[in-house]
Amino acid sequence: MSGGVDSSVAAALMQREGHHVVGVTMRLWGGESDTGCCSVSDVDDARRVAQQLDIDHLVFNFSDDFQEKVVDPYVHAHATGVTPNPCIECNRSLKFSRLTERADTLGFDAVATGHHARLVRNTNGETRVHRGGDAAKDQSYVVHMLTGRELERTLFPVGDMTKAEVRALAAELGLRTATKPDSQDVCFIPTTGGRETFLGKRIPFHSGRVIDTEGHDVGRVDAVELVTIGQRRGIGLYKTEAKRFVVDIDTTSRTVVVGTESDLRRTGLALHSMVWAGGSPESGRYRVQCSAHGASLPCAVEVIDGDRVQVTLDQPHRRVAPGQSAVLYDESDAYVVAGGLVSAASAWPASVGATA
C-alpha cells in the first residue's frame, strides 16, 4: 500500500473477496523526500486506509536494498551519460523481488498491488502480463519484468477497472485516498532543488562542449551529467532560430552533440539485459513501447542471444535514450513478450568521428 488510491482499492477488493489481507508499505528512502510514495504523508495515508478497512498494517524497511539497487545505479547512470528509469528498477528489485521474498518468509500466499495491468493464463498454461482495462492508465510497461514464480504469486485487483471506477469505489467506501492525485515524480528527488541538487551532492559535474553533427562547436553546457537524449532546453540553444535537440552524449570526452529533429530519428534500437516472459527468445514481428505512456510501434526483432536483441522499427522514431526500458508486446499489442534496456550502440553520427 503506497498511500495512493489504486493500492487502497486493491486492498479493499481483496478483503471483499474474503481473503485475509495485511497492508504493507515499504519504507524505501531514508533521506529527504516530499514526493512520490516515499514521503511521510504517503505512509500515513496507507496506515489510515488500513485502519478504515480494519486490516493490519506493516511497514517494511528496505532502505538499504533501495539504496543499492535503485539510488546508486541512478547516480552512476547519470555520471556515465545514461538516462535511468528508477521506478522500473524499484519494481524489479523491490516490489516484485524483495517484497515477494518477505511475503514467502511470512507465509503469505500472494502479493496484490494497485497496478493497472492484468494477468491472463494462455492456452499453454503460461501467465502473461496483459494491458490494463484502462488504456490511458495501463501500467503493463512498468511491470514487464515479472516472470515465473513472481507472476504466479502476484495479483492486480484493479487491472480490469478504469481509473474513474477505482476512484468511484474508493469514494463509495469512504477511503481517504479517493481524490488523492496520482504521483508523477521520482520519490527520492525532492521538489526543492530537484535532480540537479540531488546529483550535485553525489557526483562531480563537468562542463562540456556542444557540437553539431558536423563536429563544429556551437556552445557549452555546465554539466554534461544532466543532459539527456532529445533535450532542447538547458543547452543554451533554446532561443536559436533553428530547433536543436541533443542527439548524443559522451561524458568521457564531455561532449554533447546536437542536431535537428530529423537527426534525432532512428529506425534501429539495440536492447540488452532482456527478460523474456516465457518460452525461448524468438525473432519475429512485435510491437515495442519505449516509455510508460508512449504508443507502441510495429517492429521486427532479431534475437542476438538470450540477453540481446536488435529492433528495427517500421518507421523512423525519435531516438530513445540509453538506459531507458523498451518493452516488446505481441503483434496484437495485448500482452508483454519481453523487455530490456536500450543500449548506446551505433548512436554517434559517423561525421563526428566517434562510435558509442
Strands in 255-259's sheet, in edge-to-edge order, are: 217-221, 208-212, 255-259, 245-250
**What is the DSSP code string of 138-198?**
--GGGGTT--HHHHHTEE-TTTTS-HHHHHHHHHHTT-TTTTPPPP-S-TTS-TTTHHHHH
Convert 166-204 to b/e letters by CB count within 10 Å (16 or more is b).
bbebbeeeebbbbebeebebbbbbbeeeeeeebbeeeee
Non-local CB neighbours of 155 within 8 Å, separated by 6+ positions: 10, 14, 110, 111, 112, 113, 119
d(CA 343, CA 356): 9
Residues forming the active site: 90, 187
Is residue 127 within a helix (H) or strand (E), and if so which, with residue range? strand 127-131
Is residue 44 within a helix (H) or strand (E), and if so which, with residue range? helix 40-53
Non-local CB neighbours of 110 within 8 Å, separated by 6+ positions: 103, 153, 154, 155
Cα–Cα distance list, 345 to 73, 250, 270 (Å): 20, 13, 6
d(CA 62, CA 69): 11
Q: Over the Cα atoms of the chain, what is R_g?
A: 22
| Contact between 323 and 342 (Cβ < 8 Å) | yes
d(CA 70, CA 330): 29
